[in-house]
Amino acid sequence: MALGENISKPEIAVIVVSWNTRELLEGCLRSLEADALNGRLDVCVVDNASHDGSARLVRDGFPWATLIESPENLGFGAAVNLAAERTEGRWLAAANADVAVAPGALDALLSAGASDPRAGALAPRLVLPDGRTQHSVYAFPSVVVTLVLALGLGRAIPWLGDRLLLVGEWDPERARRVPWAIAAFLLIRRDAWAAAGGFDPQQWMYAEDLELGWRLRRAGFSTRYVPHARVEHRSAAATSRAWGDERTARWMRSTYAWTFRRRGPLRTRTIAAISICSALARYVALSPLALFAPDPWRARRAVWATWARLHRAGLARASSLRAHR
């Protein structure tokens, strides 16, 4: 449905991808409603064949939003691409249904974009339900980053951990350019989106934001993290319902498939081998403690066994890695 007749062209097209998260979708749209009604936003919801009444919620409760009902689950990236072709606006925002945009967040992102014309994507601070900042910006997978993690250098050398955006070692208060950011909510300059070619339509789920960051960089744009723009995020709401405990394994396989495709087989195998050896070394180191003081050391040791198993995805056959999306 079109916005008010007195508004000719909204500044931002927000594309919300929905799959069976009706309650969270309602909260997301409520957070966008004021800006949509005043003509600032063109909001489009792509519903990926939900069976929980999500599409009806949009039709009945949010007539100001455009609804695209897909007969199948397109995944995230392909759904955003579909809606991007049907929207206008100098900026495009890709969003999960499990986010809620805090007041002032869009202004902060636009301001950061105005001050950095080569920032093709602006990433807000993602705030988890318990108030913690989600780790949402990363370096591209590489042998160097993997070695720093394996050797614990990020903790020993704080500036290095922060520079490489390592989990638990980065400073979430510092605005900066980053290699890539997760696309739970990501504001993208329209010309940068066009130059990058949008999301990879064959990257069905996971690593599509990693691929977009790579494409943006190759097109001459950067991604900028804007910590004073706050977006609430109930992380993994849809993927947890879809895959449960298997979602981490799927994420790992998708990431290694991307690494194989973009960084080549040698780097991919090396990253996997280092990660497996690191996890097994920690498993062995914890074994005496697990033997004599089972709690909590046995549980911690089990975590490293799980990570060693998950990283075996990087040693899969080339045909498997090429085929996985």
Q: What is the pLDDT of residue 7?
A: 40
For residue 146, what pLDDT is reported?
A: 97
Ranges of residues in the chain with a pLDDT under 70 are 1-8, 236-245, 325
d(CA 248, CA 254): 10
What was the pLDDT predicted at 242?
Answer: 54
User: What local confidence, expressed as pLDDT, does residue 4 receive?
Assistant: 36
Q: Indicate the SS3 state at residue 48.
A: strand
**Given this model, what pLDDT does residue 241 score?**
58
User: Following DSSP, what letter does each residue of 53-121 receive, concatenated?
Assistant: SHHHHHHHH-TTSEEEEESS---HHHHHHHHHTT--SSEEEEEETTEEEPTTHHHHHHHHHHH-TTEEE
User: In the prediction, which pLDDT does 8 show?
Assistant: 53
